[in-house]
Structure 1
Amino acid sequence: MSISLILFDMNDVLCHYDRAARIAGLAAIAGREPEAIEEAIWASGYEDSADIGAMGADDYLRGFGERIGYRLTLGDWVGTLRGSITPLLEAIALAQQVRQTVRIAALTNNNFLVAREIATIFPAVPAIFGSAFNVSAEFGARKPDPEIYRRCIARHQVQAAATLFIDDSVANVAGAEAVGLLAHRHTSMTALTDLLLHYGILPAVRP
């Protein structure tokens, strides 16, 4: 079966995400120690609960501020997240190229606020993927739960065997494979380019 959809992860595929830098920025704004921010948001499971859609965008932002003891504005939240992201330009260029041949979409473990503000956080993503940028909160599950892949491909109306999933996480790749997706663990642009050449998605001569 030929590839009908390529499903890209975001963090550490299309960009490098530095959570420590984000936490440091939040700590500076809130006047708290980084360890307190880490505990309040990540170690507590708050971020994971938002990633499975347990709260809407505004409730998430309000609760985020309450947990770190600071009335965090949208600008504060967006600014610290955007500052922790470094676009991986070669991967972005590759996604732009392959969308000329096959449908593409993105699937990231993230919340409704990221979905709403992605044009400010990471402008290249909506420019490339448009409405095919999906966060886990939309599906009520986060990678590597097999259910998220089932729900995502159902939305895009493609079969599992015709979907190529690209992610840097071993666990996330295994979750995709468990429901029949073709899956590739992203380790280098060379390996990814070779894979796309193998499937005939890129021309035989590399750009």
Structure 2
Amino acid sequence: MSRPALVLFDLDDVLVGYDHARRLATLAERTGTTPKVAHRALFTAGVEKAADQGVLDIPGTLAALARELGAPVTLDDWIAARADAMSARPEVLALARATAEVAEVAILTNNGLLLRDHLEQMHPPLFPLFRDRIYCSAQFGRSKPDPAIYRDCLAALGVAPADALFIDDKVANANGARAAGLKAHHYTGSSSLRSALATHRLLEPSA
């Protein structure tokens, strides 16, 4: 089996753990609201979806969220809430670092520009490994599992679909990557990820 030139990782629940309730609790605490109000503002009112789709830029996202919350929201508030929701996965990051010895690595996530531009502040352990290699749905105006987003991302990276491996915790997203011509692995844990990377010869030392 030929070795992929690029491994494209999902972010939440692959490279990092993601705790939805913790994010809402932190946002509520920092804005003087409640987790219920924070959930309604972010998700029921569609602010997060609009940001993920690229409809809202960074100032627009913060302004829309403040309107829905009925309270001021700073960039630091948003970063703190998102950061608190993310937890380290050292075993997965170690596999990503080993992979980077023999192939390119990058991130493709269904997220807005706020996360893409401030991820280093939110989760420093991912850096410098993924610096300048973070791609999000907002910049492409489409989301996983639309096959077009994988092709758009690979075009930005200068890699052909057949030369890329995509890793995601959602079956639908892995299937979308396959439909776009990529190899794909449905992430269920670090052990199965290690096996998949080994199968693709990504944990072998370079010649």
Compute the TM-score of the two structures, normalised by the length of structure 1: 0.93
Tell me the residue number matched to 1:116: 117
Tell me the residue number matched to 2:76: 75
Tell me the residue number matched to 1:102: 103
Q: How does 1:58-207 map to 2 (within 5 A)?
A: 58-203=59-204
Number of residue pairs aligned between Structure 1 and Structure 2: 204
Partner AA of 1:56 in structure 2: D
Q: Any conservation in 2 of the 1:118–1:126 contact (CA below 8 Å)?
A: no
Tell me the residue number matched to 2:29: 28
Q: Any conservation in 1 of the 2:15–2:89 contact (CA below 8 Å)?
A: yes
Cα displacement (A) at 1:160: 1.1
Q: Any conservation in 2 of the 1:4–1:158 contact (CA below 8 Å)?
A: yes
Cα displacement (A) at 1:43: 2.2
Q: Distance in 2 between matches of 1:28 and 1:2?
A: 47
- Local SS of the residue matching 2:11: coil
Runs of 4+ aligned structure 1 residues displaced above 3 Å come to none
Cα displacement (A) at 1:29: 2.6
Q: Any conservation in 2 of the 1:104–1:129 contact (CA below 8 Å)?
A: yes
Partner AA of 1:92 in structure 2: L
Cα displacement (A) at 1:100: 0.7
Q: Deviations over 1:85-136 (max 9, x none)?
A: 1011111111111101001111111111111211111112231111011111
Partner AA of 1:149 in structure 2: Y
- Local SS of the residue matching 1:104: strand
Q: Distance in 2 between matches of 1:180 and 1:133?
A: 21
Q: Any conservation in 2 of the 1:125–1:133 contact (CA below 8 Å)?
A: no
Cα displacement (A) at 1:47: 0.7
Cα displacement (A) at 1:153: 0.9
Q: Deviations over 1:171-196 (max 9, x none)?
A: 11111111111111100111111111
Partner AA of 1:119 in structure 2: E
Tell me the residue number matched to 1:56: 57
Q: Distance in 1 between matches of 2:197 and 2:83?
A: 29
Q: Which moved more, 1:5-14 or 1:28-37?
A: 28-37
Q: Distance in 2 between matches of 1:160 and 1:40?
A: 37
Unaligned runs of 5+ in 1: none
Alpha carbon RMSD of aligned pairs, Å?
1.4
Cα displacement (A) at 1:11: 0.5
Cα displacement (A) at 1:145: 1.5
Cα displacement (A) at 1:138: 1.2
Please state if 1:12 is matched with 2:13: yes
Compute the TM-score of the two structures, normalised by the length of structure 2: 0.93
Cα displacement (A) at 1:37: 1.6
- Local SS of the residue matching 1:129: coil
Cα displacement (A) at 1:10: 0.6
Q: Any conservation in 2 of the 1:16–1:85 contact (CA below 8 Å)?
A: yes
Cα displacement (A) at 1:75: 1.4
Q: Deviations over 1:62-87 (max 9, x none)?
A: 21112111101111111111111101
Q: Distance in 2 between matches of 1:70 and 1:93?
A: 40
Q: Distance in 2 between matches of 1:29 and 1:5?
A: 39
